[in-house]
């Protein structure tokens, strides 16, 4: 075989039992379709996993205690009770030509009496980061600020006035929500109090 240049090599025998082979172009088309189908599925699985992580780590569960009117609730080692609730006159009048009641807002003022049980609770009551919100039944919330009359001491009531600007039509329907600072809480659900209107 080494000497005759006219002699050619014989063809390889055909593979049997495997059926017809796919042409390279057809195989690439099938691979592209499989990739186009699997890629969104993999991205969805990744997104769902990330969403679960965010919910478990960044937005902790809440343990809400609803306090009926006139009752007191326990939060951060202190006893919280609504002493007074008032709605101030509208702060903003609608512009001329606007429908009546379209832009009216009111200031809701809620006065709380807070009695700390011990020194740690007194420190928590006066701590930076206590969150006050006014919520309606539809889940909307308006930020509010709390201003205390003095430093909290164990066994001595302290008055905290919470103020928030809300739509006038909802002022009498809102519940006050109080949450302690998120950084000082132990593991588990985030405690909060909701005072009925």
Confidence band of 183 (pLDDT split at 50, 70, 90): low
State the pLDDT at residue 126: 73
Q: What is the mean pLDDT of the chain?
A: 82
Q: What is the CA angle 182-126-133, rounded to 5? A: 55
- Kindly tell me if the per-residue pLDDT of 83 is higher than 60: yes
Closest C-alpha to 125, from 77, 173, 63 = 77
Please give the Cα distance from 86 to 92 (Å, whole number). 17
Instruction: Write the class of the CATH domain 63-94+101-195.
Output: mainly beta
- Kindly tell me if the per-residue pLDDT of 1 is higher than 90: no
Q: How far is CA 6 from CA 1, 2, 12, 161, in A?
A: 10, 10, 18, 106
Please give the Cα distance from 57 to 46 (Å, whole number). 16
Burial of 179 (0-12, 13-18, 19+ CB in 10 A): buried
Share of the chain above pLDDT 70, in %: 80
Contact (Cβ atoms closer than 8 angstroms) between residue 195 and residue 176: yes
* Weakest-pLDDT range from 50-64, 79-93, 131-145: 50-64
Please give the Cα distance from 180 to 157 (Å, whole number). 18
State the pLDDT at residue 16: 64
- Kindly tell me if the per-residue pLDDT of 186 is higher than 70: no
Closest C-alpha to 193, from 86, 68, 58, 56 = 68
Instruction: Map out the domains of the chain as residue ranges.
Output: 25-59, 63-94+101-195
Please give the Cα distance from 169 to 173 (Å, whole number). 8
Higher pLDDT: 192 or 181? It is: 192
Model pLDDT for residues 94-137, shown as the tens digit of each residue: 555 555 555 588 899 999 999 999 888 888 887 777 889 999 98
Which pTM value belongs to this model? 0.63
| Secondary structure of residue 11 in the 3-state scheme | coil
Indicate the DSSP class of residue 183. G
State the pLDDT at residue 112: 94
Q: What is the CA angle 134-71-176, rounded to 5? A: 5
């Amino acid at each position: 075989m080494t000497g005759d240049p006219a002699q050619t090599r014989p063809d390889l025998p055909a593979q049997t039992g495997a059926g017809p082979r796919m042409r390279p172009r057809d195989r690439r088309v099938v691979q592209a379709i499989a990739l186009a189908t699997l890629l969104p599925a993999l991205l969805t699985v990744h997104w769902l996993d990330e969403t679960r992580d965010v919910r478990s780590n960044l937005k902790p569960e809440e343990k809400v205690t609803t306090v009926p009117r006139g009752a007191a609730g326990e939060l951060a080692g202190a006893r919280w009770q609504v002493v007074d609730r008032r709605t101030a006159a509208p702060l903003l009048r609608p512009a001329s030509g606007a429908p009546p009641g379209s832009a009216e807002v009111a200031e809701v003022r809620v006065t709380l009496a807070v009695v700390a049980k011990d020194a740690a609770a007194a420190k928590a009551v006066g701590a930076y980061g206590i969150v006050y919100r006014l919520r309606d039944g539809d889940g909307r919330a308006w930020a509010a600020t709390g201003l205390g009359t003095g430093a909290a001491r164990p066994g001595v009531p302290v008055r905290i006035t919470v103020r928030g600007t809300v739509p006038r039509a909802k002022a009498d329907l809102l519940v006050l929500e109080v949450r302690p600072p998120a950084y000082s809480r132990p593991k588990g659900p985030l405690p909060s109090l909701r005072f009925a209107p």
